Chains A and B, each alone.
Chain A
Amino acid sequence: MFCHHQEFRCIQLDKAERAYQFEKCIMFGIALLRREVPDEFIARHHLQGRITRRTKESDEELLFLDQHCVPVLPVWLNGQLQILAWGNRNPSSQLPRTGWCMTDSLKEGQWESLQPVEVCIPASYACDRGVWYLVTEGMRGVIVKERSRQVVYLLSQQATHYYEVMTRNRRMPVFIGETI
């Protein structure tokens, strides 16, 4: 079972370096370099509160963690960057109550009724079980619709030996154009 299927924990964004210090929590998150996201997009989606930086001199980043009160992810959809809800937490919803979609279950057709569409999720860094690592382009996900609501799930696959040793997680995201 993928660890991220566990119950979501809610954390508030904190300032500066403290936002990154959650090594004891089982969590996943991504960070996107602030300079790669247009100002207008940040304002439109009220992402200012997600801006932080690791050190005083380092580049600003936008944080998207599965433990945020409202977990969302940036998604490239129809040639445009969008912000979508990350997974489903609502027990009354018919959608899977997780933030992840296993590639095997997708191949086996378990998601077919939801008509998933594969999308790219841009990321500069990702964090798994407290370990932040570099991501060159991003990772793959699928979006599904429930009435007018669109939800994105990150695709997961069996971890490489390197990834498993680094994060102690047996599953990992599906990275775009690289093996980690």
Chain B
Amino acid sequence: MPPRNQIIGHLDADCFYASAERVRHPGLKHIPLGVLGNQGACVIAKSYEMKNYGVKTGVPIWDAVKLCPHGVYVKRDFHWYEVLSRMMLDYVQTISPKVEYYSIDEFFFDASELTRQLRRSMHEPAGTVYEAARTVQDDILKQTGVPVSIGISRSRTLAKLASDYGKPFGCFALLDKDEIARFVELIDIQEVTGIATRSAIKLADHGIRTCGDFRRADARLINKLLTKKGEALWWELHGETITPIATQRPMHKAIARGGSIGESTNNPDILQAWLARNVERLVEAMYWHRYVTHRLSVSLSYKEGKHCSDRCKLPEASNASELLLPVAKHLFERCWIRQMRISHMHIIADDLQYLGTHQRSLFVDQSPRLDSLKRLINEKLGRFKLRSGETLPLTEIYGDDAHQYDICDVYGKSCF
């Protein structure tokens, strides 16, 4: 249970991908800027200037161009975004003893001692929390070039609402109980992280539409409607910290690698190459998290609209490509419809366990040497420098650095 008087900060980078591109390409400042996904089809992030033209996240590029013809589009580069994200994380860790790496552009941190931490000397009087948060903003802007918004309050939920309120480059401290009550009163309940459409509909049936309505409702009713997670939000909106700052990522329920394979195809060589690539990435992620899996699934989506998946239990929990790749191939064959073109492929490992805590089988040959060799070489020469020969048909993918990293390859985040 977190301390009752804890103050929590939420730091959220302003249009992070666009800001990150502007750090390395200053000429993009003040230009409506759209960041495209790796297939170039959709705007996955945009600057405020582009937002002003009505371009929303997820819109196809051809729609965005109609709305904002003079905007400039760039390909996303998660490797670069991670560099800046880690710089921000390093900084926040110097001003707070507890930091949660929530997502690539968001951090929660213990702000209880923020004013003391930011005092330049023992003799200097501590300023207000607001002043300290402003200092954090300025420092991050100077050190990384990324503008951030900060919210400071009594709980994570309130801190996040506060940082959203001030954007862009906003700073908002919300500590007084009456001030909290006034602030949340008219905020739409769906603005609260954890309350999605279905929950909002349930609440609306009881006349609960704003955070003010939510706070006034009986906690037992909220529990009944939204389970204990909903009740935790009720307490959080009253300024009680229920969800602590998680400095360690909780164990995954499943890990998946895959996604769009670019141009849809039924070419067996290309599909085997994607399968091998996705398994290599999955093995890499499992090794990083120190997981082994008991079960593997392959999921395929077809251009023609169909979807197939299959799963199987492994003879022994493993994270070795020597075992996982043949199993993935077997599953792939079982759900592959040859006449149809595959558009998306996912390899999913679930029923996870930490490496070393699992029961070893007496009947499985123990020879997973290949992955450690790959790691050894790739750590020195770069990611995917040594990779499965089956991936060779993917020349365009491996020839472009932007394909080397995806958002899920940024490890350690507690959310996504």
Contacts and interface: CB of A to CB of B under 8 A. Distances in A.
Contact of B27 (A33, A130, A164): A33
B38 A162 contact: yes
A81 interface: no
Given A59-B27, A179-B401, A134 B74 contact: yes
Nearest to B42: A165
A120 B396 CA distance: 23
B399 interface: yes
A20 B61 contact: no
B48 to A, nearest CB: 11
B406 to A, nearest CB: 14
A179 B75 CA distance: 10
B72 A132 contact: yes
Contacts of B73: 131-134, 166
A96 B35 CA distance: 37
B40 A162 contact: yes
A17 B52 CA distance: 15
11 contacts: A17-B70, A20-B69, A57-B29, A58-B31, A59-B30, A131-B73, A132-B73, A133-B74, A163-B40, A165-B40, A179-B402
Nearest to A134: B74
Contacts of A113: none
B39 A162 contact: yes
B396 A180 contact: no
B29 A59 contact: yes
A12 interface: no
A179 B74 CA distance: 12
Interface string B47-74: 0010000000000011001100111111
B65 A58 contact: no
Those 6 A-B pairs whose CB atoms lie nearest each other, nearest first = A20-B70, A166-B40, A57-B30, A165-B40, A58-B30, A162-B40
A88 to B, nearest CB: 29
Nearest to A34: B27
Nearest to B71: A132
A94 interface: no
A23 B65 CA distance: 7
B213 to A, nearest CB: 41
Given A136-B25, A160-B400, 7 more contacts: A33-B27, A54-B32, A54-B72, A55-B70, A56-B30, A161-B263, A166-B40
A179 B31 contact: no
Nearest to B263: A161
A180 B75 contact: yes
Interface of A: 17, 20-23, 33, 54-59, 124-125, 130-134, 136, 160-166, 168, 179-180
A80 to B, nearest CB: 23
A59 B38 CA distance: 27
Interface residues of B, number: 32
Contacts of A136: 25
Interface of B: 21, 25, 27-32, 36, 38-41, 49, 61-62, 65-66, 69-75, 262-263, 396, 399-402
Contacts of B40: 161-166
A160 B399 CA distance: 10
Contacts of B61: 131, 165-166
Contacts of B400: 160, 162, 179
B396 A160 contact: yes
Contacts of A132: 69-73
Contact of A166 (B36, B263, B399): B36
A52 to B, nearest CB: 10
A59 B396 CA distance: 33
B70 A161 contact: no
A23 B66 contact: yes
A78 B70 CA distance: 33
Contact of A165 (B25, B41, B49): B41
B72 A130 contact: no
Given A161-B262, A179-B399, A179-B402, A55 B74 contact: no
A56 B70 CA distance: 12
Contacts of B74: 133-134
A19 B121 CA distance: 55
Contacts of A168: 62
Contact of A55 (B21, B25, B30, B69): B30
A107 to B, nearest CB: 18
Nearest to B66: A23
Nearest to A124: B27
A22 B69 contact: yes
Contacts of B49: 55
